[in-house]
Amino acid sequence: MKQEIGLLVVFLLVFLYDTFMPQRAGKALPVVSTVLLLLATAAGFCSHCLGTATSTEAFAGMYATSPVVCAIKSILNIGAVIVLLQSISWSGSDHMAVRRGEFYELLLVTLFGMYLMISARHFLLFVIGLECASLPLAAMVAFDKRHYESHEAAVKYILTAVFSSAVFMMGISFVYGLAGSLYFGNIYAALSAGTHSLMLTLAVAFVIAGMGFKLSLVPFHLWTADVYQGAPTSVTSYLSVISKGAAAFSFLVILAQVFGSLYSDVWEWMLYALIILTITVGNLFAIRQTNMKRFLAFSSISQAGYIMLGIEAFNTMGLTAMMYYILVYIFSNLAAFGVIGAIERASGKVDMTDYRGLSKTNPRLAFSMMLAMFSLAGIPPFAGFFSKFFIFTGAINQGSVAIYVLVLIALINTIISLYYYLLVVKAMYISADEPVVGTFRSSISERLGLWITVGGVMLLGIASCVYTWIFDLGEISPLAAYFV
Amino acid sequence: MEIKAIMLLVPALIMFCCGVYGFITRRNMIAILISLELMLNAVDINFAVFNRYLWPDAMEGMFFTLFAIAIAAAETALAIAIIINLYRSAKNIDVRDLNKLKY
């Protein structure tokens, strides 16, 4: 509960600052909100260190939190702070002057909605959290009012978001008809007692489809590339990292706590097919992209497939590996988006062909981008390798032959993904053409954001204390008990 | 005549399917929004019927319906705002013309 209250306090302070401070003080608003959110994140970590992050309930059991849930929220918080840090110079520009505050307020509200999604133990609170997380995001996608692309992306996002939540709620209504309650615990008890009807399979399929839209799993991914390309770069990085991470965690909570008893009967095979499709299609479409934001959109689709491996494993190792994977993914993807944002702001270029010879004009940016690509592809000394290693280990621990085949397919896809990640590196380092982007100096906030993310990419894999910390949190069995 | 639950559930399901069909085939964005609204209202009917006929001792379904109506209103308001914004910059709300971002 403390983290939600902390976030609400940050939101109110930003709101009051935006409303009552004079116009010229608005320039400082991005820095103020970043620092405030950083303080809230630090407070969350302090409660871990002091051991005060305990299991509590609120609203008659509709809301529950536990040490694992607090750690998940802290991970999301770190990502949000980095996104805010990278957005400072974008939102500091003059055309943002009147709307600057709204961007930060909307972003904090969506983060609050994601907290509710992860902590909800009742479908009503979950749906409110889901809408609270996805509706303000649509407004954020439409933020760049001067550009037509932003509007087109926003229309595509809001229509698919509403469609997916309608499908999701239809699924819940079937579950309610079968179980007679909307509390996760009561539904779990009712479903494990009764027999499985066709209606239940349909309900699970609807719920998975609804969440699949949020996570952009194939075949529910068609909005992803367009929205990522049209949205302002800061919003794209937020969508691809924080929004996806929160959706993955809440998906795990629903599947474990509501449909946990149906694992091998109903949803193991649905998820199995979705993972294969997601990883493969995401990879194959990423190869033919030329726009960097579109390219990262397809890369993030296939990464979502790897994240789902942690759910498919459905054991302790899977959960902890998934948390670690998302932490690493936050750092590597935000490093890539940091470079893209800096180059877009300085020169307005987002095509892969514009990155030719970047190592000659901007060696540090090219180096950061290269490390991010190496980490996303999973090349050994970097964090991405360890996160993939742990998630494969978790899946293999599940033990069935089908999972071995799945992991093999995922491994082959890792090699395919190496090809297109290295295309970027090739353009930056090996291409003999004249550099397109001239030398420029990025702003201090962008450099700070890149230092943090690149440092994370290099250290998170080697510093085993991070993984040990996450793994120790998960040392409770069975899986359904983590979130209580 | 006694009204059975099935007599309400089947129209709700048909409504939902009409909504999905409309979402896929309509060209005008406002018509797409109306289709979405059909889908959301089918969900509301489902909840109310399940609550009234199968689990009448608690009001969870009814409350979910109330909240879902409010959420649907918020969604529609936001979608209309975004569509108006698009209309201002493109002078058109035909989805076939949303083709600047594509493969």
Compute mean pLDDT per 10 residues along chain A, 484 residues long, and list them: 91 93 84 92 82 78 87 93 92 81 94 94 95 94 90 94 95 93 92 85 94 92 93 94 94 90 88 94 92 94 94 87 93 95 90 89 93 92 92 90 93 93 92 84 91 93 84 65 57
Dihedral class, residue A51 (left if φ above 0, else alpha if ψ from -120 to 50, else beta): left
Q: Supply A128's token pair.
A: 């409110």
A135 neighbourhood in chain B, CB within 8 Å: 74-75, 78
The token duo for A472 is: 């120790």
B4 φ/ψ sector (left φ>0, alpha ψ -120 to 50, else beta): beta
A399-433 pLDDT, tens digit each: 889 999 999 999 999 999 999 999 999 999 998 88
* pLDDT at residue A203, rounded to an integer: 94
Looking up tokens 């089947």 gives: B10
Whole-number Å distance between alpha carbons of A313 and A316: 9
Pairwise CB contact (< 8 Å): A173 & B43 = yes
Residue A174: the pLDDT is: 94
Residues in chain A with CB shorter than 8 Å from the CB of B23 are 159, 163
Helices (H), A258-291: 268-287
What is the distance between the alpha carbons of residues A56 and A67, in angstroms, rounded to a whole number?
A: 10
Inter-chain contact B102–A166, Cβ cutoff 8 Å? no
Cα A104 off chain centre by:
18
Nearest CA in chain B to A123: B64
Cα–Cα distance for residue pair A126/A165, rounded to 1 Å: 11
Residues of chain B with pLDDT under 50: none
Name which CATH class applies to B6-97.
Answer: mainly alpha
Cα B61 to Cα B44: distance, rounded to the nearest angstrom? 9
- Could you say which of B39, B47, B103 has the minimum Cβ distance to residue A166? B39
A38: left (phi over 0), alpha (psi -120 to 50) or beta: alpha
Task: Give the angle A108-A80-A168 at the CA atoms, nearest 5°.
Answer: 65
Min CA distance, A403 vs chain B (Å)?
33
Tens of pLDDT along A382-405?
A: 999 999 999 999 999 888 899 999
Q: Measure the CA–CA gap between A341 and A349, rounded to whole angstroms.
A: 10
Check CB contact under 8 Å for A152 and B100.
yes
pLDDT at position A37 is 93
Which pLDDT belongs to residue B97?
Answer: 86
Whether A267 and A259 have beta carbons less than 8 Å apart is answered as yes
**Distance separating alpha carbons of residues A306 and A250, to the nearest angstrom:** 16
What is residue A479's predicted lDDT score, i.e. its pLDDT? 60
Contact call for B102 and A226, based on CB within 8 A = yes
How many beta-carbon contacts under 8 Å exist across A and B?
Answer: 117
In this structure, chain B runs to a length of 103
A83 in contact with chain B, both atoms CB, cutoff 8 A: no
Pick from B30, B38, B63, B71 the residue to mutate for testing the A interface (most A CBs within 10 Å): B71
What pLDDT does A473 receive? Answer: 78
Q: In angstroms, how far apart are the furthest CA atoms of chain B? A: 56
CB atoms within 10 A of CB A258: 26
Q: Do A177 and B58 touch (CB under 8 A)?
A: no
**Closest chain B residue to A134, measured at CA:** B75
> Which residues are within 8 A (CB) of A419 and not within 5 positions of it... i.e. 6 or more apart?
A287
Chain B residues with CB-CB distance to A282 below 8 A: none
Interface check B73 vs A, CB under 8 A: no
ipTM of the complex: 0.96
**Residue A477 confidence (pLDDT):** 47
- Pairing between strand A56-58 and A63-65? antiparallel
Looking at residue A53, what is its pLDDT? 66
Helix, strand or coil, per DSSP, at residue B37: helix
So what's the pLDDT on residue A316? 83
Per-residue tokens: A212 = 């699949």
For residue A380, say if its preceding peptide bond is cis, omega within 30 degrees of 0: no
Decide if A261 touches B, using CB distance below 8 A: no
Tell if the CB–CB gap between A149 and B100 is shorter than 8 Å.
Answer: yes
